[in-house]
Amino acid sequence: MKNSNKSASFTKYFILFSILIALISNVIAVINFLSNDISNGLWSITNKGLYYFLSFVIQAIILLLILFLMYQFMQNVESKDYFNVNNSDKIFLIATLTVLYGGLNMMKGYLKPPIEYKTLLDTSVDTNLLLIILSIATLTYLIIYDESKKIKEENDLTI
């Protein structure tokens, strides 16, 4: 874990880049969807596509929130503020939002909208990005765990 500060800095910028990519790709997907003929009957409450579209929009917002919280968390890690009380709140929110994102993804499978909806509102790229961010978060937790082990060893030696 010698290069943890460099890794945290790189990760922070990777997350910023991911925020931009996710924002741009989701806005383009919504614009393409709304400009397509299939979206003409979207606003009917009996249309399963409406719920699929709303799920997509909610998932996009959740992904951006997760990325933003992860960016804030990485700023604290980069400044070696590991044991900040807000970090546990951010980790809890990231975990909760990730579960919500996954639940919406599962729910969309049961809606069975027309194939055009699935093609135009594809979240597989966002889901893959979320998995990458979660693996980065897990590696960051490892850095924090190693730092806490060092502090514990120092405290054990002083007693």
**Across residues 128-144, what is the average pLDDT?**
80
Please check whether residue 53 is in contact with residue 42, taking contact to mean a CB–CB distance below 8 angstroms.
yes
Whether 49 has a pLDDT exceeding 60, the answer reads yes
Please check whether residue 144 is in contact with residue 73, taking contact to mean a CB–CB distance below 8 angstroms.
no
**Across residues 40-53, what is the average pLDDT?**
81
Chain position carrying tokens 């806490």: 148
Distance CA(87)–CA(145), nearest Å, equals 13
Distance CA(90)–CA(74), nearest Å, equals 10
Confidence of residue 1 (pLDDT cuts 50, 70, 90): very low
Percent of the chain with pLDDT over 90: 16
Please check whether residue 111 is in contact with residue 103, taking contact to mean a CB–CB distance below 8 angstroms.
no
Model confidence, pTM = 0.80
Which residues 6+ apart lie within 8 Å of 86 measured at CB? 76
Least confident stretch, 1-10, 93-102, 108-117, 144-153: 1-10
Distance CA(115)–CA(43), nearest Å, equals 18
Which of 25 and 113 is assigned the larger pLDDT? 25
Whether 127 has a pLDDT exceeding 70, the answer reads yes
Which pair of tokens denotes residue 143? Answer: 């850095």
Long-range Cβ contact pairs of 86-89 (< 8 A, separation 24 or more): none
Give the model confidence (pLDDT) of 96-117 as tens digits: 898 898 889 888 888 888 788 8
Distance CA(150)–CA(142), nearest Å, equals 12
Torsions phi, psi of 34, nearest 5? -70, -25
Whether 137 has a pLDDT exceeding 60, the answer reads yes
